[in-house]
Structure formats: structure tokens, C-alpha cells
Amino acid sequence: MTDQQWDTLSIQAVSAAGVVYFLALLAYSAQWAARRGAVEGEGSARAEVFARFAFLLTVVAGGVHLLALVARGFAADPNRVPWGNMYEFTLTATFVVTLVTVLFFRRWNLAFLGPWAVGLVMVVLMLDVVWLYEPIAPLTEALSSPWLVIHVIAAITATGVFTLGGLVSILYLLRESGRLSSLPAADVLDRISYRLHAFAFPIWTFAVLIAGPIWAHQAWSRYWGWDPKEVWAFITWVVYAAYLHARATAGWKGRAAAIVALVGLGTLWFNFIGINFFFGGGLHSYAKP
């Protein structure tokens, strides 16, 4: 296949993934509607079928999403990892959200999370295509290093998982204030949220405090220089460390901890997107809008 064909394939796959995510969302709505009618007992079997179908669609959408990523990598000349600009980062981070949802679906009983995660991915994917799309281009010199692969994959994975964790924290806050009674109990949500954060935090630590500095040392001649991206990566790290402490401190458990987690998510996404627009991205030149 030529680069041009790969490029077209990638773009088509993104659209297709969007459509399948939408279908999954429809299936989830059908499940929800069926369950509402389940008081008479009969609907619940149907709800079960819809739920399975929705999960299946989510898996398919995730597969197409992955195809979009891989094709994007092959479309570049020379072939490369698809992490060269904001469009590609967002494409990957949303994929991580889907992947984690699917992988831990059973183990952590994430069935309740399905529609929310799918909805989030779909919306962010749309914004990504509309606002952040960039034509394919080779990496700048500073970006073509093995440490790019390591640092970026870790940062994106952590971003995806933190995002999912933040989503569950929001659901927790809603559930705790008496809404969304169909969701699992508030303390179950609280624990799932904690687990997602506890999963992401070491990855984030590795990305920004180990791999990042090593790469920065090679590319920019210093391992830590308080450039705006670094400042905000540090802030994010400190806020999430505060979240973990908050969880261990009696008075801060639950609601307060969830709010700290969301502050963390705010700093994370501000760093991811906001910094580029407000501060020109500093040395992280890929991020120049």
C-alpha cells in the first residue's frame, strides 16, 4: 500500500470507529430502555442481550480505532509511531480509554461504565477530528528518538486511564448526591476510581519523572528545566499524589478525594491542550498550534 492509501485508510477508520461507537451507544440506550421496562420482569433478558451487543460493538469500535492508529503510522514516510502531534495523541489517548474499559470490563465489573466511556470517547474523537486534525508529516528531529516512544506511550496511557478514573469520580459524585441510582453503590464507584488512579499514577510517574527527563537530557541538554509543560506535569503529579494521600486521610476520603482527583484531571488536560494554546508549548514544539 502507498502512504497515500494508508492515510486515506486511517481517516476512514477514524470515521468508521466514530460510527461504531455511536452504534454501541445506541445499544446501551436500548439496554437502558429495556431495563426500565424490566419491572414486569420480561425486559431484563432483553436488556442483557442489548448489553452484550453494546459490549461487542465497543470491542469492534476499539479494533477499528486501533486500525486508524496503525494506518496513521504507516502513512508517514518514514513509517513511525503515530505520536507526533496533538491529533495523534488524542487519537491514542481515546483508544486507551476504550482499551482499559474493555480489558478490565470483567475483572472490575465495569459494565456500568460502558456507555459513559463510549460516549466520552466518541465526543473527544469528534473534537479531535474537527479541531486538532493535522496532515501527516515526518517527525521533527528532536522527536525521533526511542525515548519518544517510551515517554509518550507512558504519558498517553496514563492520560487515558486518569481520564477514565476522573469519569468514574464524576459518576461517584453524582451517585453520592443521590442521582443515577441505577449505578453501583457510591463506595463501589469510589473504589474503582481509586484503582484506576492507582494504576495510572506509577505510569505517569515513569512518563514524566523518569522517561521524560532522560529524553529531555538528550534532546534539550537538561533533564529538568521547568518549561511550562514540565511545570504542569509536575503540578499534575503533585495533585494526584495529594489525591492518594487524601484517600488515606480519614477526613478527606470520599467526596473531597474525588474532587482532588478531578482537579488532577483538570491539570492533566490543561497541560495536554491548554498549555499549547496559552503558552505556545514551550520546548515541546510538537504542540505549537
Partner 1 sequence: MSSVREKPQGPAQGNERLPGELTLRELLRWTWRQLTSMRTALVLLFLLALAAIPGSVIPQTSVDDFAVKQWKADHTRLGPIYAKLGMFEVFSSPWFSAIYLLLAVSLVGCILPRTRVYWRALRAAPPTAPRNLTRLPDSAAFATEEAPEVVLDRARALLRKKRYRVVAGGDAVAAERGYLREAGNLLFHIAVLVVLAGFAIGSLWGYKGGVIIAEGSQFSNTPTQYDDFTPGKLTKASELDPFRLQLDRFDIQWLFDGPRKGMARKFVAGLTWWDSDGTKRTDDLKVNHPLSIGGTDVFLIGHGYAPVLTVRDAEGNVAYSGPTPFLPQEQRNFTSFGVVKVPDAKPKQIGLQGLFLPTYNGDPLNSAMGKDLNPLITMQAYVGDLGINGGVPQSIYSLDTSKMKLLAKPGGKMFRVDLKPGQSVDLPGGNGSVTFEGVKPWVRLEIAKKPGTWLALSGAIMALLGLCGSLYVRPRRLWVRAVRSADGETLVEVAGLDRSARSDLTDDLTAFVAALQGAATTDITTNGSAGAAGAAGVQEDQ
Residues contributing to the site for ligand HEM (CB under 6 A): 241, 244-245, 248
User: Do the Cβ atoms of 63 and 96 come closer than 8 Å?
Assistant: no
Residues 98, 87: Cα–Cα separation, whole Å: 17
Specify whether the CB–CB gap between 75 and 7 falls below 8 A: yes
Residue 61's Cα: distance from chain center in Å?
A: 15
Which does residue 12 bind out of partner 1, ligand HEM, none, counting CB within 5 to 8 angstroms by kind? none
Helix ranges restricted to H, the chain:
3-36, 43-75, 86-103, 114-127, 146-176, 186-206, 212-220, 228-248, 255-269, 275-279
Q: Pick between residue 8 and residue 205 the one whose CB is nearest to ligand HEM.
A: 205
* Residue 86: how many other CB atoms lie within 10 Å: 20
Q: Which does 166 bind (CB under 5 to 8 A by kind): ligand HEM, partner 1, none?
A: none
247 lies in the site for partner 1, by CB under 8 A:
yes
Q: How far is the CB of 250 from partner 1 (least distance, A)?
A: 9
Decide if residue 141 touches partner 1 (CB under 8 A).
Answer: yes
Burial class of 196 by CB neighbour count within 10 A (0 to 12, 13 to 18, 19+): buried
d(CA 119, CA 34): 19
Task: Tell me which residue of 197, 190, 194, 179 sits closest to 236, measured CA to CA.
Answer: 197
Single-letter amino acid code for the residue at 139: L
Residue 246, contacted partner among partner 1, ligand HEM, none, CB below 5-8 A by kind: partner 1
Measured at CB, which residue is nearest to ligand HEM? 248
Binding site partner of 150, from partner 1, ligand HEM, none, Cβ cut-off 5-8 A by kind: none
Residue 186: count of CB within 10 angstroms of its CB: 20
234 lies in the binding site for partner 1 (CB under 8 A) = yes
5-64 residues in contact with partner 1 (CB under 8 A) are none
Interaction between residue 198 and partner 1 (CB under 8 A): yes
Nearest distance from residue 64's CB to partner 1, in Å? 26
- Determine which residue in the list 79, 202, 277, 289 makes contact with partner 1, applying CB under 8 A: 202
Q: Min. distance of Cβ 53 from ligand HEM in angstroms?
A: 38
Grid coordinates representing 181?
A: 441510582
Residues that bind partner 1 (CB under 8 A): 77, 107-109, 135-138, 140-142, 144-145, 184-185, 188, 191-192, 194-195, 198, 201-202, 205-206, 209-210, 213-214, 217-228, 231-232, 234-235, 238-239, 241-242, 244-249, 251-252, 267, 275, 279, 282
